[in-house]
Protein backbone atom coordinates (compact mmCIF):
# COMPACT_ATOMS: atom_id res chain seq x y z
CA UNK A 1 0.00 0.00 0.00
CA UNK A 2 1.22 3.49 -0.81
CA UNK A 3 2.15 5.69 2.14
CA UNK A 4 -0.34 8.46 2.71
CA UNK A 5 0.98 11.98 3.01
CA UNK A 6 -0.57 14.49 5.29
CA UNK A 7 -3.35 16.64 3.81
CA UNK A 8 -2.99 14.79 0.44
CA UNK A 9 -5.62 12.22 -0.66
CA UNK A 10 -4.16 8.83 -1.53
CA UNK A 11 -4.34 7.75 -5.19
CA UNK A 12 -6.43 4.64 -5.72
CA UNK A 13 -4.87 1.81 -7.74
CA UNK A 14 -6.50 0.93 -11.06
CA UNK A 15 -8.75 -2.16 -11.20
CA UNK A 16 -7.56 -5.05 -13.29
CA UNK A 17 -9.96 -6.75 -15.71
CA UNK A 18 -10.99 -10.13 -14.37
CA UNK A 19 -10.31 -13.11 -16.63
CA UNK A 20 -11.90 -16.43 -16.07
CA UNK A 21 -9.21 -18.94 -15.17
CA UNK A 22 -9.23 -22.29 -16.93
CA UNK A 23 -7.13 -25.39 -17.23
CA UNK A 24 -4.88 -26.87 -14.56
CA UNK A 25 -4.01 -23.47 -13.09
CA UNK A 26 -7.59 -22.36 -12.56
CA UNK A 27 -7.64 -23.10 -8.84
CA UNK A 28 -4.03 -22.04 -8.24
CA UNK A 29 -3.42 -19.78 -5.19
CA UNK A 30 -1.42 -16.53 -5.41
CA UNK A 31 2.31 -16.95 -5.07
CA UNK A 32 4.32 -16.07 -2.01
CA UNK A 33 6.25 -13.33 -3.83
CA UNK A 34 3.04 -11.41 -4.48
CA UNK A 35 2.69 -12.25 -8.19
CA UNK A 36 -0.72 -13.41 -9.35
CA UNK A 37 -1.57 -16.85 -10.84
CA UNK A 38 -0.78 -17.66 -14.45
CA UNK A 39 -3.48 -16.59 -16.91
CA UNK A 40 -5.06 -19.08 -19.36
CA UNK A 41 -7.37 -18.41 -22.31
CA UNK A 42 -10.65 -20.35 -22.48
CA UNK A 43 -11.32 -22.01 -25.85
CA UNK A 44 -14.81 -21.40 -27.21
CA UNK A 45 -17.32 -24.29 -26.93
CA UNK A 46 -17.70 -26.59 -29.87
CA UNK A 47 -21.38 -25.81 -30.39
CA UNK A 48 -20.67 -22.08 -30.96
CA UNK A 49 -18.70 -22.68 -34.15
CA UNK A 50 -19.65 -21.09 -37.44
CA UNK A 51 -22.19 -23.03 -39.49
CA UNK A 52 -20.77 -22.80 -43.01
CA UNK A 53 -22.12 -25.92 -44.74
CA UNK A 54 -25.81 -25.07 -44.79
CA UNK A 55 -27.22 -28.27 -46.28
CA UNK A 56 -30.95 -28.71 -45.72
CA UNK A 57 -32.76 -31.87 -46.83
CA UNK A 58 -36.50 -31.98 -47.50
CA UNK A 59 -37.99 -35.41 -46.70
CA UNK A 60 -41.59 -36.00 -47.74
CA UNK A 61 -43.72 -38.37 -49.81
CA UNK A 62 -46.65 -38.69 -52.16
CA UNK A 63 -50.12 -39.79 -51.18
CA UNK A 64 -50.92 -43.49 -51.03
CA UNK A 65 -47.97 -44.70 -48.92
CA UNK A 66 -48.46 -47.41 -46.32
CA UNK A 67 -47.59 -47.35 -42.62
CA UNK A 68 -44.15 -48.93 -43.13
CA UNK A 69 -43.05 -46.15 -45.51
CA UNK A 70 -44.39 -43.51 -43.15
CA UNK A 71 -42.37 -44.96 -40.26
CA UNK A 72 -39.24 -45.17 -42.44
CA UNK A 73 -39.64 -41.52 -43.41
CA UNK A 74 -40.02 -40.54 -39.75
CA UNK A 75 -36.90 -42.55 -38.82
CA UNK A 76 -34.82 -40.72 -41.44
CA UNK A 77 -36.03 -37.37 -40.10
CA UNK A 78 -35.00 -38.45 -36.59
CA UNK A 79 -31.51 -39.52 -37.70
CA UNK A 80 -30.92 -36.39 -39.82
CA UNK A 81 -31.20 -33.18 -37.74
CA UNK A 82 -30.66 -31.04 -40.86
CA UNK A 83 -33.87 -32.35 -42.48
CA UNK A 84 -37.21 -30.65 -42.94
CA UNK A 85 -40.72 -32.03 -43.38
CA UNK A 86 -43.62 -31.11 -45.63
CA UNK A 87 -47.14 -32.29 -46.38
CA UNK A 88 -47.80 -35.14 -48.79
CA UNK A 89 -47.82 -34.26 -52.46
CA UNK A 90 -50.76 -35.13 -54.70
CA UNK A 91 -50.10 -37.92 -57.18
CA UNK A 92 -51.56 -35.88 -60.03
CA UNK A 93 -48.85 -33.21 -59.73
CA UNK A 94 -45.70 -33.35 -61.82
CA UNK A 95 -42.37 -34.10 -60.17
CA UNK A 96 -40.99 -30.75 -61.34
CA UNK A 97 -43.19 -29.09 -58.69
CA UNK A 98 -40.88 -30.50 -56.01
CA UNK A 99 -38.16 -28.01 -57.05
CA UNK A 100 -40.48 -25.12 -56.20
CA UNK A 101 -41.45 -26.74 -52.89
CA UNK A 102 -37.77 -27.11 -51.94
CA UNK A 103 -37.12 -23.50 -52.89
CA UNK A 104 -39.96 -22.33 -50.63
CA UNK A 105 -38.63 -24.50 -47.78
CA UNK A 106 -35.08 -23.18 -48.38
CA UNK A 107 -33.74 -26.71 -49.03
CA UNK A 108 -31.03 -27.67 -51.51
CA UNK A 109 -31.41 -31.49 -51.22
CA UNK A 110 -34.49 -33.69 -51.37
CA UNK A 111 -35.55 -37.24 -50.49
CA UNK A 112 -38.92 -37.99 -52.05
CA UNK A 113 -40.84 -41.25 -51.55
CA UNK A 114 -43.19 -42.12 -54.40
CA UNK A 115 -45.80 -44.87 -53.92
CA UNK A 116 -47.45 -46.73 -56.81
CA UNK A 117 -50.22 -49.36 -56.73
CA UNK A 118 -50.13 -49.21 -52.90
CA UNK A 119 -47.36 -51.82 -52.88
CA UNK A 120 -44.35 -50.45 -54.82
CA UNK A 121 -42.13 -47.81 -53.22
CA UNK A 122 -39.69 -45.60 -55.13
CA UNK A 123 -37.14 -43.18 -53.65
CA UNK A 124 -35.83 -40.05 -55.38
CA UNK A 125 -32.54 -38.45 -54.26
CA UNK A 126 -32.00 -35.07 -55.88
CA UNK A 127 -29.77 -32.02 -55.76
CA UNK A 128 -31.94 -28.92 -56.07
CA UNK A 129 -32.21 -27.23 -58.54
CA UNK A 130 -29.41 -28.14 -60.99
CA UNK A 131 -29.31 -31.90 -60.37
CA UNK A 132 -28.32 -34.67 -60.68
CA UNK A 133 -31.08 -36.94 -59.38
CA UNK A 134 -31.36 -40.70 -58.91
CA UNK A 135 -34.39 -42.96 -58.78
CA UNK A 136 -34.36 -46.17 -56.70
CA UNK A 137 -36.75 -49.01 -55.98
CA UNK A 138 -36.90 -49.52 -52.20
CA UNK A 139 -37.07 -53.14 -51.02
CA UNK A 140 -36.88 -55.04 -47.70
CA UNK A 141 -37.84 -52.08 -45.51
CA UNK A 142 -37.48 -52.54 -41.73
CA UNK A 143 -38.06 -49.60 -39.37
CA UNK A 144 -36.68 -48.72 -35.94
CA UNK A 145 -39.80 -49.80 -34.06
CA UNK A 146 -40.09 -53.05 -35.99
CA UNK A 147 -36.54 -54.30 -35.58
CA UNK A 148 -36.18 -53.73 -31.80
CA UNK A 149 -32.38 -53.74 -32.00
CA UNK A 150 -30.21 -53.44 -28.91
CA UNK A 151 -28.25 -50.45 -30.21
CA UNK A 152 -29.14 -46.84 -29.44
CA UNK A 153 -27.45 -43.57 -30.36
CA UNK A 154 -27.72 -39.97 -29.23
CA UNK A 155 -30.45 -38.00 -30.93
CA UNK A 156 -28.97 -35.45 -33.32
CA UNK A 157 -25.40 -36.82 -33.24
CA UNK A 158 -23.21 -36.73 -36.34
CA UNK A 159 -22.74 -40.06 -38.20
CA UNK A 160 -19.77 -41.59 -39.96
CA UNK A 161 -20.39 -42.68 -43.55
CA UNK A 162 -18.86 -45.99 -44.63
CA UNK A 163 -18.87 -46.94 -48.32
CA UNK A 164 -18.08 -50.13 -50.18
CA UNK A 165 -14.80 -50.05 -52.21
CA UNK A 166 -16.87 -50.61 -55.38
CA UNK A 167 -18.11 -47.00 -55.08
CA UNK A 168 -14.65 -45.78 -56.16
CA UNK A 169 -14.36 -48.12 -59.16
CA UNK A 170 -17.51 -47.39 -61.20
CA UNK A 171 -18.32 -43.81 -62.35
CA UNK A 172 -22.06 -44.01 -61.65
CA UNK A 173 -21.36 -45.36 -58.14
CA UNK A 174 -18.89 -42.50 -57.57
CA UNK A 175 -21.64 -40.01 -58.46
CA UNK A 176 -24.04 -41.74 -56.05
CA UNK A 177 -21.38 -41.70 -53.32
CA UNK A 178 -21.04 -37.92 -53.58
CA UNK A 179 -24.84 -37.58 -53.52
CA UNK A 180 -25.09 -39.79 -50.41
CA UNK A 181 -22.35 -37.78 -48.66
CA UNK A 182 -24.09 -34.46 -49.27
CA UNK A 183 -27.52 -35.75 -48.20
CA UNK A 184 -26.89 -38.08 -45.24
CA UNK A 185 -23.91 -36.36 -43.56
CA UNK A 186 -24.86 -33.87 -40.85
CA UNK A 187 -23.24 -30.44 -41.44
CA UNK A 188 -20.58 -29.38 -38.96
CA UNK A 189 -21.79 -26.98 -36.23
CA UNK A 190 -25.43 -27.45 -37.21
CA UNK A 191 -27.67 -25.81 -34.56
CA UNK A 192 -29.78 -28.95 -34.04
CA UNK A 193 -26.87 -31.41 -34.06
CA UNK A 194 -24.77 -32.67 -31.16
CA UNK A 195 -20.94 -32.56 -31.25
CA UNK A 196 -20.61 -36.34 -30.94
CA UNK A 197 -19.96 -39.17 -33.40
CA UNK A 198 -21.50 -42.39 -32.09
CA UNK A 199 -23.05 -44.18 -35.08
CA UNK A 200 -22.19 -45.25 -38.63
CA UNK A 201 -24.19 -45.27 -41.87
CA UNK A 202 -22.96 -48.11 -44.10
CA UNK A 203 -23.61 -48.37 -47.84
CA UNK A 204 -22.73 -51.83 -49.20
CA UNK A 205 -23.15 -53.08 -52.78
CA UNK A 206 -24.31 -56.69 -53.05
CA UNK A 207 -26.32 -58.37 -55.82
CA UNK A 208 -26.34 -55.12 -57.87
CA UNK A 209 -28.16 -53.34 -55.02
CA UNK A 210 -27.18 -50.82 -52.33
CA UNK A 211 -27.78 -52.07 -48.76
CA UNK A 212 -28.24 -49.38 -46.10
CA UNK A 213 -27.48 -50.18 -42.44
CA UNK A 214 -27.11 -48.05 -39.29
CA UNK A 215 -24.76 -49.17 -36.48
CA UNK A 216 -23.92 -47.78 -33.06
CA UNK A 217 -20.25 -47.45 -32.02
CA UNK A 218 -19.71 -48.89 -28.54
CA UNK A 219 -16.96 -47.04 -26.65
CA UNK A 220 -15.59 -49.96 -24.63
CA UNK A 221 -14.32 -52.15 -27.45
CA UNK A 222 -15.26 -50.13 -30.57
CA UNK A 223 -17.66 -52.85 -31.71
CA UNK A 224 -20.80 -52.18 -33.76
CA UNK A 225 -24.41 -52.85 -32.79
CA UNK A 226 -27.18 -52.34 -35.32
CA UNK A 227 -29.76 -49.68 -34.58
CA UNK A 228 -31.91 -49.48 -37.68
CA UNK A 229 -33.66 -48.69 -39.94
CA UNK A 230 -32.54 -50.92 -42.81
CA UNK A 231 -33.55 -50.98 -46.46
CA UNK A 232 -32.23 -51.97 -49.90
CA UNK A 233 -31.99 -49.57 -52.85
CA UNK A 234 -32.23 -50.96 -56.38
CA UNK A 235 -30.95 -48.31 -58.78
CA UNK A 236 -33.18 -47.59 -61.78
CA UNK A 237 -31.84 -44.44 -63.47
CA UNK A 238 -29.62 -41.41 -62.89
CA UNK A 239 -30.82 -38.14 -64.46
CA UNK A 240 -28.80 -35.06 -65.25
CA UNK A 241 -31.42 -32.61 -63.99
CA UNK A 242 -33.49 -32.47 -60.84
CA UNK A 243 -36.41 -34.96 -61.14
CA UNK A 244 -35.92 -35.26 -64.89
CA UNK A 245 -33.66 -34.39 -67.78
CA UNK A 246 -31.30 -36.50 -69.89
CA UNK A 247 -30.54 -40.00 -68.61
CA UNK A 248 -26.93 -40.37 -67.47
CA UNK A 249 -27.11 -44.05 -66.48
CA UNK A 250 -29.70 -46.82 -66.69
CA UNK A 251 -29.33 -50.04 -64.71
CA UNK A 252 -29.35 -53.05 -67.11
CA UNK A 253 -29.97 -55.48 -64.22
CA UNK A 254 -33.13 -53.71 -63.04
CA UNK A 255 -36.41 -55.62 -63.26
CA UNK A 256 -39.66 -53.78 -62.60
CA UNK A 257 -42.05 -55.12 -59.94
CA UNK A 258 -44.76 -55.66 -62.57
CA UNK A 259 -42.42 -57.89 -64.62
CA UNK A 260 -41.38 -59.80 -61.50
CA UNK A 261 -44.97 -60.46 -60.47
CA UNK A 262 -45.84 -61.48 -64.04
CA UNK A 263 -43.00 -64.03 -64.13
CA UNK A 264 -44.17 -65.47 -60.81
CA UNK A 265 -47.69 -65.90 -62.15
CA UNK A 266 -46.37 -67.53 -65.33
CA UNK A 267 -44.24 -70.00 -63.33
CA UNK A 268 -47.26 -71.03 -61.24
CA UNK A 269 -49.39 -71.37 -64.39
CA UNK A 270 -46.79 -73.55 -66.14
CA UNK A 271 -46.64 -75.90 -63.14
CA UNK A 272 -50.41 -76.32 -63.17
CA UNK A 273 -50.39 -76.85 -66.94
CA UNK A 274 -47.74 -79.57 -66.62
CA UNK A 275 -49.76 -81.39 -63.95
CA UNK A 276 -52.86 -81.26 -66.15
CA UNK A 277 -50.94 -82.64 -69.14
CA UNK A 278 -49.59 -85.55 -67.06
CA UNK A 279 -53.13 -86.40 -65.95
CA UNK A 280 -54.39 -86.34 -69.54
CA UNK A 281 -51.58 -88.65 -70.71
CA UNK A 282 -52.36 -91.13 -67.92
CA UNK A 283 -56.05 -91.03 -68.83
CA UNK A 284 -55.29 -91.75 -72.50
CA UNK A 285 -53.11 -94.70 -71.51
CA UNK A 286 -55.90 -96.19 -69.43
CA UNK A 287 -58.67 -95.74 -72.02
CA UNK A 288 -56.55 -96.60 -75.07
CA UNK A 289 -56.99 -100.02 -76.83
CA UNK A 290 -54.44 -102.64 -75.93
CA UNK A 291 -52.26 -103.82 -78.81
CA UNK A 292 -51.78 -107.61 -78.99
CA UNK A 293 -48.24 -108.57 -79.80
CA UNK A 294 -47.52 -111.61 -81.92
CA UNK A 295 -45.60 -114.63 -80.72
CA UNK A 296 -41.92 -114.11 -80.39
CA UNK A 297 -39.95 -116.95 -82.07
CA UNK A 298 -36.98 -116.32 -79.80
CA UNK A 299 -39.02 -116.76 -76.64
CA UNK A 300 -38.30 -120.54 -76.34
CA UNK A 301 -34.57 -120.29 -76.95
CA UNK A 302 -33.57 -120.66 -73.32
CA UNK A 303 -36.21 -123.29 -72.39
CA UNK A 304 -34.66 -126.77 -71.74
CA UNK A 305 -37.02 -129.78 -72.15
CA UNK A 306 -37.44 -131.94 -69.01
CA UNK A 307 -36.70 -135.69 -69.00
CA UNK A 308 -39.72 -137.91 -69.72
CA UNK A 309 -40.64 -140.23 -66.84
CA UNK A 310 -42.28 -143.62 -67.50
CA UNK A 311 -45.99 -143.83 -66.69
CA UNK A 312 -46.77 -146.23 -63.79
CA UNK A 313 -50.25 -147.69 -63.47
CA UNK A 314 -51.26 -148.91 -59.97
CA UNK A 315 -53.43 -152.05 -60.22
CA UNK A 316 -53.77 -152.82 -56.46
CA UNK A 317 -55.98 -150.72 -54.18
CA UNK A 318 -53.95 -148.93 -51.53
CA UNK A 319 -54.44 -149.99 -47.94
CA UNK A 320 -56.64 -147.76 -45.81
CA UNK A 321 -55.05 -146.08 -42.81
CA UNK A 322 -56.34 -147.08 -39.34
CA UNK A 323 -58.55 -144.51 -37.63
CA UNK A 324 -56.98 -143.39 -34.35
CA UNK A 325 -59.32 -141.70 -31.92
CA UNK A 326 -58.09 -138.67 -30.09
CA UNK A 327 -58.01 -139.54 -26.43
CA UNK A 328 -57.51 -135.93 -25.36
CA UNK A 329 -60.66 -134.68 -27.08
CA UNK A 330 -63.22 -135.71 -24.41
CA UNK A 331 -61.02 -134.13 -21.77
CA UNK A 332 -61.02 -130.83 -23.68
CA UNK A 333 -64.81 -130.90 -23.95
CA UNK A 334 -65.12 -131.59 -20.24
CA UNK A 335 -62.84 -128.69 -19.35
CA UNK A 336 -64.90 -126.32 -21.49
CA UNK A 337 -68.08 -127.38 -19.73
CA UNK A 338 -66.46 -126.83 -16.31
CA UNK A 339 -65.37 -123.30 -17.34
CA UNK A 340 -68.91 -122.45 -18.44
CA UNK A 341 -70.36 -123.64 -15.12
CA UNK A 342 -67.77 -121.67 -13.20
CA UNK A 343 -68.64 -118.48 -15.11
CA UNK A 344 -72.39 -118.89 -14.56
CA UNK A 345 -71.88 -119.44 -10.82
pLDDT of 30 over the 50 cut: no
User: Any residues with CB less than 8 A from the CB of 192 and at least 6 apart, and which?
Assistant: 81, 82, 156
Q: Is the pLDDT of residue 138 over 70?
A: yes
- Mean pLDDT of the region 251-276: 94
pTM flag (> 0.85): no
Please tell me the predicted confidence (pLDDT) of residue 208.
Answer: 92
User: Is 309 a residue whose pLDDT tops 60?
Assistant: yes
Contact 184, 161 (CB under 8 A): yes
Label residue 17 by pLDDT band (50, 70, 90).
very low
Confidence of residue 39 (pLDDT cuts 50, 70, 90): low
Q: How far is CA 130 from CA 60, 99, 242, 245, in A?
A: 20, 10, 6, 10
Contacts of 105 (CB under 8 A, 6+ apart): 56, 58, 84, 86
For the stretch 209-254, pLDDT in tens is 999 999 999 877 778 999 989 999 999 999 999 998 999 999 999 9
Q: How many CB atoms lie within 10 A of CB 55?
A: 16
Rounded Cα distance between 339 and 1, Å, is 141
- pLDDT bin (cut points 50, 70, 90) of residue 287 is confident
pLDDT higher than 80, residue 132? yes
The full set of domains in the chain, from first to last, is: 57-260 (3.40.50.10480)
SS (H, E, C) 149-217: CCCCCCCCEEEEEEECHHHHCCHHHHHHHHHHHHHHCCCCCCCCCEEEEEEEEEEEEECCEEEEEEEEE
Amino acid sequence: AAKRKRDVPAARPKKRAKKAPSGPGADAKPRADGAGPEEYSIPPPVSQGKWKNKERVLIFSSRGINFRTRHLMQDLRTLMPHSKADTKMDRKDQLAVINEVCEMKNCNKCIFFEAKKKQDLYMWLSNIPQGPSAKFLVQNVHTLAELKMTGNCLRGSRPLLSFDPIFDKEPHYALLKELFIQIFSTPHYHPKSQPFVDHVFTFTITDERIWFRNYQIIEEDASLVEIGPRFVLNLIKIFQGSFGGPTLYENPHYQSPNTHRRLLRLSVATKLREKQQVKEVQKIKKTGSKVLLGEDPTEVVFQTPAEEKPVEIQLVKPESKPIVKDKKKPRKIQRKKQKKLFRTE
